[in-house]
Amino acid sequence: MMVGLALVLGCGDDDGPECAVAADCEGAELCVDGTCMAPTDSGTSDGFAPDAPESCGPGQIRDAASCVDECGDPSAMPCESGQVCDVSGGRCVDEGTAGLLPATETPCGDGLICGPGTECSVDGQCDAIPACGRRVCDASESYCWGRGCVYDRPAGSCSPPTLERMNMDDFLLGGDGGAIDLEFDEVCNAYAVTMISGTDYLRQLEPDGTLTVSNGVTNLNMGEVAVLRPIGGEFGGGAEDPGEVALTYICCATCGCVGSDPQGVARLDREGPTSLPMVVEATPSTGTAPWGSAALDTGPYGLTWGRDRTLFVGNVSTNGDLVRASLDEGTSEELHRFEARVLATTVYNRSSLVVALEGGELWLASTATDSSASLTTVDGEVTSLVRDPLTGHLFVSLGDGRVLELEADGTAVGTFHTFDGPVRIARSPDGFLYALDPGFPRPGAITRMPLPATRE
């Protein structure tokens, strides 16, 4: 006899009752008066209260004391004729209702099935797709599906600085070069790091146009910037303060750098005596892509904060490694070793990253284990990656100026946009994809493109 559902949450705790249905509780616990309780605490030895109904209607399952809508559960009664299951909400709705998840079922791991709204991770677990806030599973934890999914892109809770402001010299340019990478935090601050002769800078531009400049450690050149974005903040509104900021120093041995080891990972210390101290040193490395420049194709690349709030970066001890870095301790631990140099990374879901290698290969890499799997190969060298949290599509910018759009499984959708030269892309909370034409060795520019308004 079924005694309830198991749940794996995909976001932080919410205010209010602990649960509404058994799907909100762990393991075989049941939801009784808003509280998760073990079956033996709910009234009878079989987990049901004495007055619980013996059978339920279409799209429902038996909870501790009543019938509840949970049509996504394989054991639920089928929906009535003319209706289909809205897995995301657990209720039967009319056929043709907009926003329904595709009725997919994907084998995953040891006997596990990832149903609608979930995808199989490289560790053999079902993760919620980006558009779904969490996943739920049946009592045996052998079948999972998405919950709390969005269909229309929510309006951003904030807006970044205007394009006119971002394209002003004090944020974008400087000396013989300028901004080489662009990123946003969840309160719509824009960040840029520079590649210029002399001291380089991290620049933070607030939505109202206020600029804060942090000096780098002498002349070490900067490669990438990454900002920690909060769990649950995929569509904005998930944070009140700026996230933690990391960047890479990539100055090569022949680039006129100051210091015996001019490559590594730095952090933004908003209050310390040194604003951008080097905290993880890297062994100098070189490559041939994606820029075709000895000054740019060198050092650590693929800087990304994972959804586990851990910083990842490639090419730290050798080309092809992907390490988990601790900025607090100034240490790094190798998690993956690929056969080619890492060029870019981005968050794929809660438990994995997408990693782009020199030569065009894209891999999925676990953020918890050494498991990895080939995703696809693109016909060019990758400069940056972004996964859209609404559609789940990957946007891949290439060295020839194309920005490709791929399905979640790596299948090509088409060319999203073509620029005159290589760009780096970044997603902001306002629903736009921004593209930076890097300012090296000439001044660049920032443009933006709207992302799809719906999942379809």
pLDDT at 413 over 70: yes
Q: CATH: 3.10.20.600, 3.30.830.10, 3.30.450.20, 2.130.10.10. Which one for 163-450?
A: 2.130.10.10
> How confident is residue 308, by pLDDT bands cut at 50, 70 and 90?
confident
Q: What is the mean pLDDT of residues 387-397?
A: 96
CA distance 200 to 175: 10
pLDDT at 178 over 50: yes
CA distance 317 to 326: 15
Instruction: Identify the residue with better confidence: 84 or 18.
Output: 84
Neighbours of 360 (CB within 10 A): 19
pLDDT at 130 over 70: yes
pLDDT at 53 over 80: no
Q: What is the mean pLDDT of residues 249-264?
A: 80
The average confidence (pLDDT) of the chain is: 86
pLDDT at 368 over 80: yes
pLDDT in tens, 329-366: 888 999 999 999 999 999 999 899 999 999 999 999 99
Quote the pLDDT of residue 133: 87
Q: What is the mean pLDDT of residues 267-295?
A: 91
> CA torsion, points 19, 21, 22, 23, in degrees to nearest 10?
-90
* CA dist list (Å): 29 to 89, 117, 411: 20, 23, 40
Q: Is 176 left (phi over 0), alpha (psi -120 to 50) or beta?
A: alpha
Tell me the pairing of strands 190-195 and 201-205.
Answer: antiparallel
Prediction pTM value:
0.86
Q: Which residues contact 11 (CB under 8 A, 6 or more apart)?
A: 133, 134, 148, 231, 232
CA distance 70 to 77: 9
Peptide bond into 17 cis (omega under 30): no
pLDDT at 197 over 70: yes
Residue ranges of the chain that CATH labels 2.130.10.10: 163-450
Quote the pLDDT of residue 21: 57
Neighbours of 410 (CB within 10 A): 16
CA distance 150 to 131: 6
pLDDT in tens, 148-164: 999 999 888 889 999 99
